[in-house]
């Protein structure tokens, strides 16, 4: 069955370190998205991509970067982790013909100490 996976599921890192969160989908979807979820804020869009080599900034992109070298993967990199980036991160994809519904991965809980 097609799916979307994220790794790691839990990560603890130190302030200033570079961290990369992986997202992999097997639906062959063109559109992929990264969100962070914090209490009281819902889901906030970090970066998104509409296809290979395409990346765009979302609402809260400062301190984050993405790259899209193939259809299946959209890794999210925190260049220099800060305590304010402690959050739950969700990856999602969409692109099924005739539908814009987004399928979410299981999430990565990141703690920056």
The residues in 28-87 that bind another protein, with binding defined as CB under 8 A, are: 31, 33, 35, 40-45, 48, 50, 58-59
Q: Which is nearer to another protein, 63 or 107 (CB)?
A: 107
Q: How far is the CB of 65 from another protein (least distance, A)?
A: 18
- Non-local CB neighbours of 41 within 8 Å, separated by 6+ positions: none
Q: How far is the CB of 20 from another protein (least distance, A)?
A: 20
Residue 94 touching another protein (CB under 8 A): yes
Helix, strand, coil abundance in the chain, percent, nearest 5: 5, 50, 45
- Of 9-17, 62-70, 78-86, 92-100, which part binds another protein (CB under 8 A)? 92-100
Peptide bond into 8 cis (omega under 30): yes
Residue 104 touching another protein (CB under 8 A): yes
Name the strand (E) or helix (H) holding 78: strand 76-78
CA atoms within 13 A on the CB side of 83: 1
Asked if 5 contacts 32 with a C-beta cutoff of 8 angstroms, the reply is no
Interface with another protein (CB under 8 A):
31, 33, 35, 40-45, 48, 50, 58-59, 90, 94-95, 99-107
């Amino acid at each position: 069955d097609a799916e979307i996976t994220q790794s790691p599921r839990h990560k603890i890192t130190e302030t200033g370190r570079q961290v990369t969160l992986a997202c992999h989908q097997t639906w062959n979807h063109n559109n992929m998205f990264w969100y962070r979820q914090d209490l009281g804020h819902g889901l906030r869009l970090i970066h998104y991509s509409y296809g290979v080599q395409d990346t765009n900034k979302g609402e809260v992109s400062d301190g984050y970067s993405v790259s899209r070298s193939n259809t299946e993967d959209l890794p999210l990199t925190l260049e220099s982790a800060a305590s304010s980036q402690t959050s739950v991160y969700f990856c999602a994809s969409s692109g099924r013909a005739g539908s814009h519904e987004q399928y979410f991965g299981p999430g990565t809980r990141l703690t920056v100490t």
